[in-house]
Amino acid sequence: MRLLFRRIKSLVGVGHPPAALRGTQLAELNQLSNAWLLVEGERIHSFGSEDETVLLPEADQVIDCTGRFILPSFCDSHTHLVFAASREEEFVDKIRGKTYAEIAAKGGGILSSARKLAALPEEQLFRESMAKLEKVAAAGTGAIEIKSGYGLSVAAELKMLRVIKQLKYSSRIPIKASFLGAHAIPPEFKENREGYIRLLIDDILPVIEQEGLADFIDVFCEEGFFTPDETIRICEAGKTIGLRPKIHANQLTVSGGVEAGIKLDAISVDHLESMAPETIAALAASNVIGTLLPTAAYFLRMPPPPARLLLEAGAALALASDFNPGSSPSFNMEGVVSMACIQLRMLPEEALQAATINGAFAMQLEKETGTIHPGKWANLLLTKPLSSLAYIPYSFGASCLHQVYLKGSLVKSA
């Protein structure tokens, strides 16, 4: 099957950068105006300018894109999509003045999600997660990372990871799995942190290795959760079975998570709401991607992460949704891009590249997706007719997407 998109107002994000974009590079978004794009089967075959092409390629289907943009699908490199139930009661508690940390300390938050997940049969968890993934795909996400971390016991962590593995086989969205057993200390180990860490390393990691259940290892490095030393120890154990670290760092406090991530050669350090000047400098001088989660900061009424300072220092930044029931109940990446522009003062070009190619790098999927390039998956967003690219983040709350393609197949049409 050959699909030809014609008269594209602008083909956005063409090319194939060799490394995650950093600093000023993020604002340099390659575009081709009045373009055509040929998709063959699941992959991008070729593209060119209508002005310069004498003979367009033959195709089975031709789609006229007059006035519309085509972009690579969003690459959402940080989510907790597998969860059992929403937590809007905490949303109301926060309106009344409680903080995220206070709710967590009283057994709410992550621990409440863990209690609900433990009670849900694996099959039901899988079905509900599949249904969420369908909505995620329709919203324009074409690759996603999903974490465990609402299990917090051997059985429930493995249940989550097996559900994610089953999602990999069943969903059209490419998925990467992260083991986040170190998301919180479960109540039964409150007086025995060492016992829980041993359980993660000695009881769960060997099964993950045996069954191929994860690609990355994650730790919530934060006051009241896991210390930098514990983070390093858990991640080093993960590395011995081939899991590259991706760390929750500096969300609520200047936690030392960024420095731990740099030491570990993590693929990314995520959140970064609480950054000291020397932490910004250290991250910018490293090859670790800083993943910002603007909807989580907004939802928790946290100060937005210092995107401008990070970019001025030359850091590589990605944007992700952090989709989870506690701090970001939205998976909508158009919303993430808007919020990055509004709250973080990222330019539309910076935000779009952070949410596509740099997200792909943060999942080690950059060879397959994240830009428009021959040989990559045809994971594409066709917009409504738009006056300019900046209209996408400008019109926050309303979708600019007309059609969504995953591996060459239409998954949503407005």
Instruction: Rank residues 40 and 270 by Cβ distance to ligand NIG and give the closer one.
Output: 270
Question: According to CB under 6 A, which one of 140, 228, 326, 370 is a site residue for ligand NIG?
Answer: 326
Work out how close the CB of 253 gets to Fe ion at its nearest, in angstroms, rounded to a whole number.
Answer: 16
Site residue total, ligand NIG (CB under 6 A): 13
Binding mask 186-225 for ligand NIG (x = CB under 6 A): ----------------------------------x-----
Residues 52-91 that bind ligand NIG (CB under 6 A): 80
Report if residue 292 touches ligand NIG, rule: CB under 6 A: no
Work out how close the CB of 109 gets to ligand NIG at its nearest, in angstroms, rounded to a whole number.
Answer: 5
User: DSSP string of 83-112?
Assistant: -S---HHHHHHHHTT--HHHHHHTT-THHH
214 HSE (CA, 13 A, CB side):
32
Residue in the shown chain whose Cβ atom is closest to ligand NIG: 326
Residues 6+ positions from 288 with CB-CB distance below 8 Å = 258, 261, 262, 265, 266, 267, 268, 269, 316
- As a dihedral over the C-alpha atoms of residue 304, residue 29, residue 12, residue 271, rounded to 10 degrees, the angle is -20
Report if residue 322 touches ligand NIG, rule: CB under 6 A: yes
Residue in the shown chain whose Cβ atom is closest to Fe ion: 322
Work out how close the CB of 156 gets to ligand NIG at its nearest, in angstroms, rounded to a whole number.
Answer: 14
Report if residue 113 touches ligand NIG, rule: CB under 6 A: yes
Using CB distances below 5 to 8 A depending on partner kind, what does residue 186 bind out of ligand NIG, Fe ion, none? none
What residues does 33 pair with on adjacent strands? 10
Of residues 90, 49, 155, 150, the one with CA closest to residue 300: 90
User: DSSP string of 23-86?
Assistant: GGGGG---EEEEEEEEEETTEEEEEEETTT-SSPPP-SEEEE-TT-EEEEPEEE-------S--
Work out how close the CB of 96 gets to Fe ion at its nearest, in angstroms, rounded to a whole number.
Answer: 24
Work out how close the CB of 365 gets to Fe ion at its nearest, in angstroms, rounded to a whole number.
Answer: 19
CA angle 341, 70, 391 (to 5 degrees): 35
Work out how close the CB of 11 gets to ligand NIG at its nearest, in angstroms, rounded to a whole number.
Answer: 34
Question: According to CB under 6 A, which one of 44, 81, 110, 221 is a site residue for ligand NIG?
Answer: 110
Largest CA distance in the chain: 73
Question: According to CB under 6 A, which one of 161, 266, 296, 311 is a site residue for ligand NIG?
Answer: 296
Point out which residues bind ligand NIG (CB under 6 A): 80, 109-110, 113, 220, 248, 251, 296, 322, 324-327
